[in-house]
Amino acid sequence: MDKGKAEEYVGSEKLYADIQYTMQQAAYMNSGWRSEEDVRQYLRKITGHDIPDDVRVFTPLHINYGPGVTFGKECFLNFGCTLLAIGGITIGDGVFFGPNCVLATEYHPEEPSKRHQLLTKPIVICRNAWLGANVTVLAGVTIGENAIVAAGSVVTKDIPDNMVAAGTPARIIREIKR
């Protein structure tokens, strides 16, 4: 969704209905043991997009807006991930998420009188990136191809291709070893 449309959509009845549908389907998906194929079928309903047959998601998966998420091939999301996706989340081929990762495309203005406004920026996780356990990625961030984000990091800025980042806020610590 382009930025102009996203800003118009925030606060609309259509968005509210889509969020309610997403949360309902996610609750069904998370309500007991599901086969990998069952989870992919729920994700197809939730996102309205094709989900490749090699995508693996360990539930529970918490998601507020399914149409905002696209999955590449051979993705893996471990237990307890949260996708706040009104701004759009693109997950590239071969991406791995450790348990309890949070991707938040939504944020609020700092100014107290405007803090109830909801703003969005997309998140892009490029091919073969790996997010360790408990990584948080904030709105507007792109994580580059093959990048690794260490467990517990909070990513506030883009991570270039082939780099390892760690910390809060996440900083580049070195290039990927070849």
173 assigned to some structural domain: no
Checking if the pLDDT of 3 tops 80, the result is no
pLDDT tens-digit map of 9-53: 666 888 999 999 999 999 999 999 999 999 999 999 999 999 999
Checking if the pLDDT of 1 tops 50, the result is no
Q: CB neighbours of 70 closer than 8 A, spacing ≥ 6?
A: 47, 49, 89, 90, 91
The confidence score (pLDDT) of residue 7 equals 53
Domain span at residue 18?
3-163
C-alpha dihedral sign at 112, 114, 116, 122: negative
Active site residue 108: yes
CATH number for the domain spanning 64: value is 2.160.10.10
171 assigned to some structural domain: no
Number of domains in the chain: 1
18 assigned to some structural domain: yes
Q: Among 10, 17, 15, 75, which Cα is nearest to 43's?
A: 75
Q: Which of 49, 62, 108, 116 is catalytic?
A: 108
**At 8, is the pLDDT very low, low, confident or very high (cuts 50, 70, 90)?**
low
24 assigned to some structural domain: yes
**What whole-number distance in Å separates Cα of residue 119 and Cα of residue 106?**
6
pLDDT tens-digit map of 60-101: 999 999 999 999 999 999 999 999 999 999 999 999 999 999
151 assigned to some structural domain: yes
Cis peptide bond upstream of 109, omega within 30: no
User: What's the predicted TM-score (pTM) here?
Assistant: 0.92
175 assigned to some structural domain: no
